[in-house]
A and B are shown apart, each in its own frame.
Chain A
Amino acid sequence: MLKNTDCIIEKTQGKTLTVILNGELDHHNAAKFRTKIDSLIQSKKPMTLVLDLAHIDFMDSSGLGLIMGRYQNVQGYGGKLIVRNPSEAILKICRLSGIGRFVKIETKQ
């Protein structure tokens, strides 16, 4: 259960880093997510970065910018990025942007 004050929780398994984001992914919050995730990428250099959005209540195009920025970051050293558990609304904006050409999107089964 994520507390309201947690913005991310991270789990590492081998070369896969999973970051569970909490809250709203808008312009106001994007910088804080960016700083924390980039710090983890810097220290762990994961070959697979998973952004788990199950606890993200809202995302607009600022979130798309955040995802693409992290993709470019890991891709720089040959890593890949997966977006996991987007809500229907988040899936809609992902489809609009065509971001699926670059990052794998895994939905809840």
Chain B
Amino acid sequence: MKQSITHGSLTNTIKLALPSLSVNEGIARSVISSFCICLGPTATDIADIKCAVSEAVTNCIVHAYKNSVGMIYITAEAFSDSVIKITIRDKGCGIADVKQARQPLFTTDAQNERSGLGFTVMESFMDRLSVRSVIGKGTTVIMHKKIGDAVG
């Protein structure tokens, strides 16, 4: 059983299932940032989370379901120690080499002006990032962030 990195109890959770259409990038950002309000985030927290969610959802649309449309499953969980955990899961093509994919500037889609910074943004803007993938089955991205640290 995986060790939990949060010590708080679950106080709220939502689940979202969206088809991998690019118009849903903004919808996912809005829904998750609205959910985070319950933890009293700073403006920076909201901006960071919106960006990280946008990167993960965009990865599903651009890479996971490159030539098709599939479902993106997002779960957001709020914990009593002001930690938010966001899980973004797809059933797309999977990532052959996760370590390579997480390298800054690495991209398999340079011709479409992909910067290769999606995972770098997630890693920098969130406190913790985990990426699990199986070729042909899909990818699960889990991000954690402690909200409201600036307030103290």
Contacts and interface: CB of A to CB of B under 8 A. Distances in A.
Interface of B is mostly: helix
A65 B120 contact: no
B117 A26 contact: no
Nearest to A97: B117
A36 B55 CA distance: 24
Contacts of A24: 26
Contacts of A64: 115, 117
Interface stretch (B11-19, B46-54, B126-134, B137-145): B46-54
Most B C-beta atoms less than 10 A away, residue of A27, A34, A64, A89: A27
B1 to A, nearest CB: 34
B22 A96 contact: no
A81 B112 CA distance: 20
A26 B26 contact: yes
Interface residues of A, number: 21
Interface string A10-29: 00000000000000101110
A61 B105 CA distance: 10
B114 interface: yes
B23 interface: yes
Interface string A29-70: 010001000000000000000000000001011101110110
B76 interface: no
Interface in B35-84: 44, 47-48, 50-51, 54-55, 58, 61-62
Contacts of B55: 60-61
Given A64-B117, A93-B121, 15 more contacts: A26-B22, A26-B58, A27-B62, A30-B113, A34-B113, A58-B29, A60-B121, A61-B114, A61-B121, A62-B58, A62-B115, A93-B51, A96-B120, A97-B115, A97-B117
Interface of A: 24, 26-28, 30, 34, 58, 60-62, 64-66, 68-69, 88-89, 92-93, 96-97
17 contacts: A26-B54, A26-B58, A27-B61, A58-B50, A58-B54, A61-B117, A61-B121, A62-B58, A62-B114, A64-B115, A64-B117, A65-B115, A68-B113, A89-B47, A93-B121, A96-B117, A97-B115
